[in-house]
Amino acid sequence: MTKIAKEYAEALFSLSVEKGAKKEYYDEIIGARDVFRAEGEFLAFLSSPDISLEEKLDLLKRAFGEFKEDVLSFLCLITEKKRISAFYDIVSEYDALFTFSESKVKAKVTSAEELDEDEKKKLTLKLEKKFARKVECEFFVDNALIGGLIVEAEGNVIDGSVRSEIQKIKEVISE
C-alpha cells in the first residue's frame, strides 16, 4: 500500500466520522469498488490521458450521482489529481480503518460524583469522536477525587481531575 493511498483513505474516513456517516460512506466506497471491478473498462477510462477531465467527471457523476456528495467529490478529486490508479489501495486502507473502528473501546470513567444520564451520554459521544469507534463506558464514583473525572481507555489515561490540575500548578510553582 502506498503512503498516498493511506492519506486519502484517512482523509475520507475522518470526514465520515465527522459527518456521523461511517457506515454510509463505507457502503458507497465499497459500492464504487464493486462497480470498477465489474466494469473493468471504467477504471481504465478514468485513468486514460486521452480522455478529457470533463468527460471523466461527467461519467463519475452519472454513475455515482446518488452517492453522498462527499463520496462523489472524493471520487472526482482522486480522478482530477490523477490518483484514481491508487483507488483499490485507497479502498483497502479505508476498509481497514472502518473495520477497526467498528470494534468497541472499553472505557473506565471515574468521577468525583455520580454523573447524570445526559452527562454520561455527552461524555460517551465525545470519547467516540476521539477514538473514532464505539465506546462502552463503565462509570465509577471515587469520593477521593475533589472534582472532575478520569478516563482510562486503550491504555490511555485522560486525567481531568481537580487533583491533577492542582498537581500541575504545584509543579509549575516549584520550578
| Reported pTM | 0.64
Say if CB 59 and CB 46 are below 8 A apart: yes
Alpha carbon 119 to its chain centroid, in Å, reads: 23
Question: Do 146 and 78 belong to one domain?
Answer: no
Question: Do 112 and 50 belong to one domain?
Answer: no
Q: Read off the pLDDT of residues 29-74 as tens digits, 9 standing for 90 and up.
A: 999 999 999 998 999 999 999 999 999 999 999 999 999 999 999 9
Question: Do 25 and 39 belong to one domain?
Answer: yes
Q: CA neighbours within 13 Å on the CB side: how many for 42?
A: 19
Say if CB 12 and CB 76 are below 8 A apart: no
pLDDT over 80 at 1, yes or no: no
Q: Read off the pLDDT of residues 79-97 as tens digits, 9 standing for 90 and up.
A: 999 999 999 999 999 998 9
Whole-number Å distance between alpha carbons of 120 and 80 = 44
Q: At what angle do helices 22-38 and 3-18 cross, to 10 degrees?
A: 140
Question: Do 15 and 80 belong to one domain?
Answer: yes
- Please tell me the predicted confidence (pLDDT) of residue 19: 93
Q: Give the structural domain span for 163.
A: 105-174
Residue 159: name the closest of 151, 168, 167 by CA: 151
Question: pLDDT band at 134, cuts 50/70/90?
Answer: confident
Domain boundary among 40, 67, 101: 101
134: its cell numbers: 464505539
Domain boundary among 80, 101, 122: 101
Residue 56: name the closest of 34, 38, 72, 80 by CA: 80
Q: How many domains does the chain have?
A: 2
Question: Do 86 and 131 belong to one domain?
Answer: no
pLDDT over 80 at 175, yes or no: no
Domain boundary among 67, 101, 135: 101
Q: What is the DSSP letter of 84?
A: G
Whole-number Å distance between alpha carbons of 157 and 151 = 6
